[in-house]
A and B are shown apart, each in its own frame.
Chain A
Amino acid sequence: MEQPNLSYIHSMSGGDKSFEQKLIDIIKGEFPEEKKIYYENITAKNYKLAAENVHKLKHKISILGLEKSYETAVTFENNLLEDRTTLQDEFESILIIITNYLQQL
């Protein structure tokens, strides 16, 4: 399984450490909220709303350099829009990996 990294954030910052920290803090604040809402919607079988949540989460997946995981999220989002949950386990594994990574930062 691929691991998150800060390559994209470094490329954005141009060496500006305060920006890097600011962005990490924003992601650390926003990601758990989005994840929580996703789990609420997927548990309640509100698949269209869950697709909205995946849509937002996939941006963070890409920011953290998870290219293959991003593709999984895109497909999962489309599945949800068609009321299917195929790739749910794979997607939720990605969320766990990101959660663990953010805790280390």
Chain B
Amino acid sequence: MNCIIIDDEATARAIIAQLCSNVDHLNVLEEFPNAIQAIKYLNQNEIDLIFLDIHMPDFTGFDFIETLKNPPKIILTTSDSNFAIQAFEYDCIVDYLVKPITLERFQKAIKKANAKTVTATGLDSSEKVETTSGNDLYVNIDRRLIKIDIPSIYLVEAKGDYIHVKTESQNYTVHSTLKKIEEKLPNDLFLKVHRSFIINVNKIIDIEDNSVLIKKDVIPVSRSNRPELMKRLNLL
């Protein structure tokens, strides 16, 4: 992991750098006495982890995090334990170290950061569309991969950062996008009829004007998607 250290106190930076030097595969690329300099660096460099002091004059650690579009993992370092609750509001913060940092506590924080690295490519989000296998779709719900029988899905609805997947037997709320699940579903069975809805064409009960009835759900059909829907139907 490549990391940087941001702390206005040289003593703190030296201690953190020393602690990092004892960890394999943890490279300190730069140290910064303030967040402004670090922002400039991050605009041109990718890093995996930031050791970030909260209590800095002018621009606090939290101000700094707010400026980052895609923040890397962050371990907060502070002499103040009062910010702990605020820290948990940020997904990117993996741990919170109170100064003076001990070797044991530092190692624990690094373990957490490493664990987050593993899950970032797999089971990080609470719920995610993961993969398909034949007729099955696996979704990640609370770090468990739940199997859904694809033909049993009759409706997928986008709701903000989530999608609702409705099946014959159960409904699932998954942290994903309509676009992602659309890629996983077979084209011959599923059709996007509206920017917020994908339906299973085989489950249509009837169609009326610009809507379709699927089970008990009336789903709008957008004008641009209607021709494709009509093509799919075995019209007499």
Q: Is the CB of B14 within 8 A of A23?
A: yes
Q: Is the CB of B11 within 8 A of A12?
A: no
Mark the stretch among B43-51, B95-103, B140-148 that contacts chain A: B95-103
**Chain A interface size, under 10 / 10 to 19 / 20 to 34 / 35 or more:** 20 to 34
Q: How far is the CB of A37 from chain B (nearest CB, A)?
A: 11
Q: Is the CB of B11 within 8 A of A13?
A: no
Mark the stretch among A39-47, A59-67, A89-97 that contacts chain B: A59-67
Residues in A whose Cβ lies below 8 Å from that of B11:
23, 26-27, 30, 59-60, 63
A101 within 8 A of B: no
Q: Is the CB of A55 within 8 A of B55?
A: yes
A35 within 8 A of B: no
**Chain B interface size, under 10 / 10 to 19 / 20 to 34 / 35 or more:** 10 to 19
Q: Is the CB of A11 within 8 A of B103?
A: yes
Residues in B whose Cβ lies below 8 Å from that of A59:
9, 11-12, 79, 99-100
Residues in A whose Cβ lies below 8 Å from that of B103:
11-12
A84 within 8 A of B: no
Interface of chain A residues 12 through 53 with chain B (CB within 8 A): 12-14, 16, 19, 22-23, 26-27, 29-30, 52
- The docked-state distance in angstroms from the alpha carbon of A8 to that of B22 is 16
Q: How far is the CB of B76 from chain A (nearest CB, A)?
A: 14
- The docked-state distance in angstroms from the alpha carbon of A11 to that of B100 is 11
Interface of chain B residues 1 through 27 with chain A (CB within 8 A): 8-12, 14-15, 18-19, 22
Scoring B9, B55, B100, B103 by chain A CB atoms within 10 A of each residue's CB, the highest score goes to B100
Q: How far is the CB of B104 from chain A (nearest CB, A)?
A: 10
Partner pick for B9 among A22, A30, A62, CB 8 A cutoff = A30
- The docked-state distance in angstroms from the alpha carbon of A9 to that of B158 is 55
Known contacts A30-B9, A56-B9; A13/B18 CB under 8 A: yes
- The docked-state distance in angstroms from the alpha carbon of A8 to that of B102 is 8
Known contacts A55-B79, A59-B9; A14/B22 CB under 8 A: yes
Scoring B8, B15, B19, B102 by chain A CB atoms within 10 A of each residue's CB, the highest score goes to B15
- The docked-state distance in angstroms from the alpha carbon of A30 to that of B8 is 11
Q: How far is the CB of A54 from chain B (nearest CB, A)?
A: 10
Residues in B whose Cβ lies below 8 Å from that of A16:
18
- The docked-state distance in angstroms from the alpha carbon of A54 to that of B122 is 44
Partner pick for B10 among A11, A14, A26, A63, CB 8 A cutoff = A26
The chain B residues found within 8 Å of chain A, CB to CB, are 8-12, 14-15, 18-19, 22, 55, 57, 79-80, 99-100, 102-103
Given contacts A30-B9, A55-B55, 20 further A-B contacts (CB under 8 A): A11-B102, A11-B103, A12-B15, A12-B103, A14-B22, A16-B18, A22-B14, A30-B10, A30-B11, A52-B57, A55-B80, A56-B8, A59-B9, A59-B12, A59-B79, A59-B99, A59-B100, A62-B100, A63-B15, A63-B100
